A and B are shown apart, each in its own frame.
Chain A
Amino acid sequence: MADQAPGVRIDGLTVVYKTPAGELPAVRGISLTLEPGTITGIVGESGSGKSTLALSLLNAVQPPGRIAAGSVEIDGLGDVVGFAGEQLRKARGAHIGYVFQAAQNSLNPLKTVGKQLLDLGRSHGVADLRGLVREARELLGRMGLDGARVLDSHQHELSGGMRQRVGIMLALVLNAHLVVLDEPTTALDMITQANILKIVREVHAERGLTTLVITHDIGVVAEVADRLAVMYGGRLVEQGPTREVLGSPRHPYTRGLIRAIPRLVGDIDEARALPGRPPTLVTVPKEGCVFRERCELRMDVCDTVDPSVVADGSRIVACHAVTVKEHAS
């Protein structure tokens, strides 16, 4: 595989979970392109399907879930949805790095970081394990840690911010150029959050990566992402360049989200919470717009017809009201 940032094309991806009520979609018909060398942010509430989407990039949706339709085409690899067994295992880690949420314990508590690094190297047939350790130490040093000491530590001896940097190191050390970060700053304090985001940005630029950041925090996306995709009820409702989407949101959900952020200056009451609650796997509507229950622009057509995804330059929106308005003008 070429030593450069790969592009990723997700097309018509649907992921279903087996429940007592039958197979229900957590992610439905999502199409999303990650341009080589960009940082894409995916924002959504809990249960919007964003983590499921992230796992799909590694074809790692956990049972009882499964990818029911669609493809995830990664440059230099192919469609990972068709991968299985050894082929899939080797793609994970070596080509696609996955960084867990810092609060999750992503390290074996009984082994030092260094030993787990060696396990990783052996799993991927790295001949020069000494070189791998050197690389890991450099990466950790690059992120402001004492590499030798961290490699000699167990998980319980590291702070949240340190663990997160170890996670990033493990995702990158095999020279993966596609990196997925799942809630990289959740459960970290503000200063550590800022540090981690800075590291993500810098490492992304230095190593020439294609990066996908999953978060529920619009602030994180605003900080790092070139492009922003908003998920709701398993659907992508809006995407586009981060500045444009945040500056002039089109989808009523995106608008509601942004309006709900309290400002540093001005009246606190200006921030208005979005009424209602997000749908769950069971309550998400089978047909029509998934957002209609909470939408202020609701029309009759929303109850019956899925809004189609309409592209307008670099902006993509799936909403009847927005489409109608644009046709009228």
Chain B
Amino acid sequence: MMIIIRRLAGHLARGFVMILVVATISFFIINNIPGDPMAARYEKLIEGGMAPEAAAQAVKVLYGFQPTGTLWQQYSDFMGGLLHFDLGVSVSRPGTPVLDVLTEAAKWTVLPVLVGTLLSFLVGVVLGVYAAIKRTGKLGDALAISGSLLHGIPQYVLALLLVVIFATLIPILPADGPVDILFDPGFNAGYIGSLVEHAVLPVVTYALSAYGGWVLAMKSSVVTVLGDDFILAAELRGMKRSIVFRYIARNAILPLFTILALSLGLLLGGAVFIEKIFNYPGLGLLLIDSVNDRDYALMGGAFLLITASIIVANIVADLFYTVIDPRVRSGEDAT
């Protein structure tokens, strides 16, 4: 237990430093993007026929401030706010803190991505084991081909295909946003039912597009373990099939947890195509919008969120290994 706590402390310290570094880099990169959101808004108002003074006034009212500090001042303000989880105020949605915009969007990304990824992981891993064990038979071939095929189809093609089939040809599922606006948001059967109904297609798209990777990764991992001496040894000692199966599965799944953790971290960045196609106002769309709107604050916030989630996923994966793999555990003992 001490080992785990010590590891965790080390990881958190390193993670914190990494986040600061990434925040710094993204701050300077974003600041160096040519263009100025307020100037852009000002020009737009002018184009709309407003007088220059009125336009300048309107812009000032809209944002409540004009950036006047030096770059260094802006940077220290930004980092200071960061330490209080204050990511500033969105430029494109005046008056709304970036953090609020992000959490609102995260709601529509986290759940479908989490469910879709875990679903594909479970199904893919189980079928991957079968694909490996039956690899000389027809079932194994079929599973491997299904894996390669789904792995090869781009996510947006898959999403469009599902929309065409299940929302247009056989219209049994909705593909028009995360929820029916008829229902009152809240904890009532109608709203939740509508949420679930709308989530089916995006979740299935996530799951199907990730499934192939899991099947193929698990298959090759199992095939490697099957060739290990201890599997033959267990069989020659007359171990029950179910026990040998558990030995195989547990050893084969180990390397996949890293991939799982990383893909969970990455997917928080949102799947732009899926969110666009199913009209989910998630993080992916938000990031694209923020870039289009030159919303510096929002952009920085979104980058930071993705960075943080990947770092956290890495930490979780590493700690997880200390729990499940005795070799990692005692490796720490030795140092």
Taking the closest CB of chain A, its distance from the CB of B329, in whole angstroms, is 9
Partner of B238, one of A91, A111, A112, A156: A91
Indicate with 1 or 0, residue by residue over A115-139, a CB within 8 angstroms of chain B CB atoms: 0000110111000000000000000
Check B243 for interface membership: any CB of A closer than 8 A.
yes
Is the beta-carbon distance between A106 and B243 smaller than 8 angstroms? no
Query: Is B134 an interface position by the 8 A CB rule?
Result: no
Alpha-carbon distance between A201 and B168 when the two chains are bound, in angstroms: 78
Report which of B236, B241, B243, B327 forms a contact with A109, defined as CB distance below 8 A: B327
B230, B235, B240, B330: which contacts A108 (Cβ < 8 A)? Answer: B230
CB distance from B227 to the nearest CB of A (A): 10
Structural contact, A154 and B326, CB atoms closer than 8 A: yes
Interface stretch (choices A26-34, A97-105, A184-192, A285-293): A97-105
Tell me which of A58, A60, A105 contacts B228 (CB under 8 A): A105
> Would B238 and A90 count as touching, CB distance under 8 A?
yes
**Do A123 and B236 form a contact, CB below 8 Å, given A110-B251, A154-B326?**
no
Given contacts A108-B251, A109-B251, A154-B327, contact A119 B243 (CB under 8 A): yes
A315 within 8 A of B: no
Of residues 60 through 102 on chain A, the ones whose CB sits less than 8 Å from some CB of chain B are 60, 62, 89-94, 98, 100
A120 to chain B: closest residue by CB: B237
> CA separation between A203 and B282, bound complex, in Å?
69
Within the complex, what minimum Cβ distance (angstroms) separates B290 from chain A?
A: 45
Secondary structure of the B side of the interface?
A: helix
CB neighbours (8 Å) of A93 from chain B are 236-239
A123 and B239 contacting across the interface, CB-CB below 8 Å: yes
Query: Interface size (A, Cβ < 8 Å)?
Result: 31
- Complex formed: what's the CA distance from A251 to B229 in Å? 35
CA distance A233 to B326 in the complex (A): 43
Q: Any chain A CB within 8 A of the CB of B3? A: no
Does A107 make an interface contact (CB < 8 A)? yes
Residue on B nearest A97 in the bound complex, by CB:
B237
Decide if A157 is an interface residue (CB 8 Å cutoff): yes
Closest to B228 in A: A105
The answer to whether B247 has its CB under 8 Å from any CB of chain A is yes
Do residues A110 and B325 form an inter-chain contact, with CB atoms below 8 A? yes
Q: Are B326 and A98 in contact (CB under 8 A)?
A: no
Cβ contact of A60, chosen from B235, B240, B330, cutoff 8 A: B235
| CB <8 Å contact, A94 and B238 | yes
**A100 and B233 in contact, given A110-B325, A110-B326, A157-B330 (Cβ under 8 angstroms):** yes
- B 286-328 contacts with A by CB, 8 A: 324-327
Q: Once the chains are docked, how many angstroms separate the CA of A62 from the CA of B236?
A: 11
> Does B107 touch A at the CB level, under 8 Å?
no
Question: In the bound complex, how far is the Cα of B234 from the Cα of A106, in angstroms?
Answer: 8
Report whether B230 and A107 are in contact in the complex, using a CB–CB cutoff of 8 Å.
yes
Decide if B330 touches A92 in the complex (CB within 8 Å).
Answer: no
Partner of B230, one of A105, A112, A156, A157: A105
How far, in whole Å, are A85 and B26 apart by their CA atoms in the complex? 63
Give the chain B neighbours of A167 by CB distance below 8 A.
233
A171 to B330, CA, bound (A): 27
Q: Would you list which residues of chain A between 22 and 69 have a CB under 8 Å from chain B?
A: 58, 60, 62
Give Cα A128 to B325, complex, Å.
29
Chain B, interface size category, equals 20 to 34
Cα A111 to Cα B228 in complex, Å, equals 15
Task: A98 to B247: give the CA distance in the assembly, Å.
Answer: 19
B39: interface (CB < 8 Å): no
Bound CA–CA A244/B233 (angstroms): 35
Bound together, the chains give a CA A104 to CA B227 distance in angstroms of 12
Q: B125 to nearest A CB, angstroms? A: 16
Chain A residue nearest to B239 (CB atoms) is: A123
A170 CB within 8 Å of chain B: yes
- Residue in B228, B232, B233, B243 whose Cβ sees the most chain A Cβ within 10 Å: B233
With contact pairs A104-B229, A109-B230 given, residues A156 and B236 touching in the complex (Cβ less than 8 Å): no
Report A100 CB to chain B, min CB distance, Å.
Answer: 6
> Inside 8 A of A157's CB, which chain B residues have their CB?
330
- Interface bits A136-176 vs B (CB < 8 Å: 1, else 0): 00000000000000000010110000000001001100000
Chain B residue nearest in CB terms to A109: B327
Rounded to whole Å, the gap between the CB of A108 and the closest CB of chain B is 5
| Chain B hits for A92, CB < 8 A | 235-238
Q: Say yes or no for B250: interface residue by CB 8 A criterion.
A: yes
User: Which one of B229, B238, B247, B250 lies within 8 Å of A100 (CB-CB)?
Assistant: B229
Per the bound structure, the CA–CA distance linking A108 and B250 in Å amounts to: 10
B330 CB contacts on chain A under 8 angstroms? 154, 156-157
A60 contacts B237, C-beta separation under 8 Å: no
* Chain A residue contacts of B235, Cβ below 8 A: 60, 92
Chain A, Cβ-Cβ closest to B246: A119
A105 near B251 with CB under 8 A, answer: no
Known: A98-B237, A109-B251. A122 touches B243 (CB 8 A): yes
Contact of A119 among B228, B239, B327 (CB under 8 A): B239
State which of A58, A90, A110, A154 has its C-beta within 8 Å of the C-beta of B250: A110
Which B217-275 residues sit within 8 Å CB-CB of chain A? 228-230, 232-241, 243, 247, 250-251, 254
In the complex formed, the residue of B with least CB distance to A155 is B230
- Bound-state CA distance A182–B330 (Å) is 30
What is the bound-complex CA distance between A115 and B326, given in angstroms? 13
In the assembled complex, the CB of B137 is this many whole angstroms from the nearest CB of chain A, namely 13
Q: For residue B228, give the distance in angstroms from its CB to the closest CB of chain A.
A: 7
Q: What chain A residues lie within 8 Å of B241 (beta carbons)?
A: 89
Known: A110-B254, A156-B330. 20 other contacts (CB 8 A): A60-B236, A89-B238, A89-B239, A91-B238, A92-B235, A93-B237, A93-B238, A98-B233, A98-B236, A100-B229, A105-B230, A107-B230, A108-B247, A109-B251, A110-B326, A122-B240, A123-B240, A124-B238, A154-B326, A154-B327
The 4 nearest A-B residue pairs measured at CB: A93-B238, A106-B233, A92-B238, A104-B229
Q: List 7 A-B contacts (CB under 8 A).
A: A93-B238, A98-B233, A110-B326, A120-B239, A123-B240, A154-B327, A156-B326
